[in-house]
Structures are given as C-alpha cells and as structure tokens.
Amino acid sequence: MNEFLLSIGMGLCILVFLILYRVVFGPGVFNRIAALSTIGTKTLIILLIIGFLYNRVDMFVDISMVYALLNLIGTLAASKYLETVGEN
Amino acid sequence: MIQKSDDIIIKTLARILVPFIQIYALYVIMHGHHSPGGGFQGGVILAASFVILMITHGIKKTQKRISEKAVAIFSSSGVFIYAGIGAVCLLLSGNYLDYSTLAKLLHVAPAEARSLGILGIEIGVGLAVMAVMFSVFFNISKGEDVEEDKKD
C-alpha cells in the first residue's frame, strides 16, 4: 500500500511541475489564476498522502484544511482585484 | 481596490463559510500544544475569515462587525494577556513565562499549570495576530493616497 501511495504522490509532484508551465508562460491572467488554484488542490492531496505515509493523518488533515482555505481566499482576492483593475 | 460586488454565489458562500472558519480557528488555537498550529496560525485563520468577509461584502458591512477601534483594542489586549501572564510568573518568584509557578495561583499540579499557562499565552498571541493582520489588510484596502507620495 505504501508503494502505491508513494507512486501516486510522485506522479502528482510531476503534474505540479507541468502546471507550473501554465503559471509562468500561460497566456492571460485567467489561465494563471486557474493554474495556481489547481496547484493548490494538488498540494492538498500530496499533504494527505504524506500524512498516510507517516501514519499521522490526523495532523496532516488540519494542515491541508488550512491550505484549502487559504487557497480559496487567494483565488477570491486575485479575481476581485481583476474585477476592479482589468486584465491589463 | 475593494468595492461592492453583486455576485450572489460568492456572497452566499462567504456567509455560510465564515462561522465555520472561525470555529476552526478557535480549534487550532485551543489544540496548539498537541497538534500542528497554535496562537499564530489560529490568529491568521481568524483574520482570514474577516478578510473573506471584506472581499465579498465590502468595507462598510465589515466595519459593522469589527470596527477599527475594536481592532486596536483586540491587538493591545492580546499583547497585554501575553505580557501579563509572563509578569505574573515573575511576581510568583519564577522566571519570565515560567508557567509552573502559576500552580500556586491556580491550585493545580505544576504540569497542569504549564498546560494552562501555554493555553493563555496562545489565546493572547491569537488575538494580537488576528487584530494586526486584519488592520494591515484594512489599511491597504482603504486605498487612501499617502501625503508623502504627492510631494515628490
């Protein structure tokens, strides 16, 4: 079971690097915001997998909940800024 | 930067989410000594609940819930709780923030007095961090022109 979780976690890490391309070079602000929030959700799952690997899920659930919350607030703030300022 | 938005999805989401965020922040503060988190992290989550309220509902509605004067009182009272517990430890002939001397005052075992002392410290830190984080965000989002910028 540990090898299964470890391989899933490493696959997600590789996917994060693929999405990072969209954050850096992505055309427009909307692609960047969407890619950033996708990276946030992937980090959340990776944290939970690390928790399963160390047998301390009860602690890592707390951290990942905070991460999800801050991710939501960051996306909301960025889109709010975009609404008032405009894409340029 | 922040203006009144009419989006009903975001508004409803924030209205439903804010109490749960605050309860979670209190949980992080209270369980700081035997799980990840503590005063600073709980204070940041508590401030995040007010930030999400301000982003979605505008400055005026947020000021009805927590005004600038209340933020100042919260931040100073948080620092007062922190320094006060340390000073009480000093008065009870211990070191600064040496919680085991609080056992004489609370009539409990020294180990339990340490647990209660760190809980009080974390409550103080959480209050101060919440108020300062929120006041920083509040002052940025008001967007007033600074006098020094105009002179240049």
Alpha carbon separation from A20 to A14, A33, A78, A88, B18 (Å, rounded): 10, 11, 18, 22, 31
Q: Is B110 left (phi over 0), alpha (psi -120 to 50) or beta?
A: alpha
Cβ A69–B35 below 8 Å, yes or no? no
pLDDT above 80 (res B2) = no
pLDDT above 90 (res B138) = no
CA atoms within 13 A on the CB side of A22: 14
Whether B149 is covered by a domain: the verdict is no
Whether B1 is covered by a domain: the verdict is no
Report pLDDT digits (tens) over B74-131.
Answer: 999 999 999 999 999 888 888 888 888 888 888 888 888 888 888 899 999 999 999 9
Can you tell me the mean pLDDT for A47-68?
A: 90
- Where do runs of H (alpha helix) occur along A1-88? 2-25, 29-54, 57-85
Total domains in the fold of chain A: 1
Query: Which are the contacts of A75, defined by CB distance < 8 A and separation ≥ 6?
Result: A33, A36, A37, A40
Total domains in the fold of chain B: 1
Instruction: Provide the 10 A C-beta neighbour count for residue A63.
Output: 18
Selecting from A62, A70, A76 the residue whose C-beta is nearest the C-beta of B10 gives A76
Q: For residue B89, what are the domain limits?
A: 8-142
Residue A10: per-residue pLDDT: 94
User: CB-based contact (8 Å) between A69 and chain B?
Assistant: yes
pLDDT above 70 (res B4) = no
Taking the CA of residue A20 and the nearest CA in chain B, the distance in Å comes to 26
Residue A44: per-residue pLDDT: 92
Whether B18 is covered by a domain: the verdict is yes
In B48-77, the residues whose Cβ lies within 8 Å of chain A are: 48, 51-52, 55-56
Task: Report the amino acid identity of residue B99.
Answer: Y
pTM: 0.82
The per-residue pLDDT of chain B, averaged, comes to: 84
Cβ B52–A76 below 8 Å, yes or no? yes
Can you tell me the mean pLDDT for B32-42?
A: 82
Query: Which are the contacts of A16, defined by CB distance < 8 A and separation ≥ 6?
Result: A39, A42, A43, A46
Selecting from B5, B45, B56 the residue whose C-beta is nearest the C-beta of A66 gives B45
User: CB-based contact (8 Å) between B47 and chain A?
Assistant: no
Instruction: Provide the 10 A C-beta neighbour count for residue B43.
Output: 27
Instruction: Provide the 10 A C-beta neighbour count for residue A34.
Output: 16
Length of chain A measured in residues: 88
Contacts of B48 in chain A (CB under 8 A): 69-70, 73
Whether B3 is covered by a domain: the verdict is no
Rg (CA), chain B: 19
Alpha carbon separation from B123 to A79, B38, B80 (Å, rounded): 33, 9, 11
In B15-34, the residues whose Cβ lies within 8 Å of chain A are: 21, 24, 28
CA angle A7, A12, A16 (to 5 degrees): 150
pLDDT above 90 (res B141) = no
Q: For residue A38, what are the domain limits?
A: 2-85
CA angle B141, B81, B119 (to 5 degrees): 100
Q: How would residue B7 be classed by pLDDT, with cut points 50, 70 and 90?
A: confident
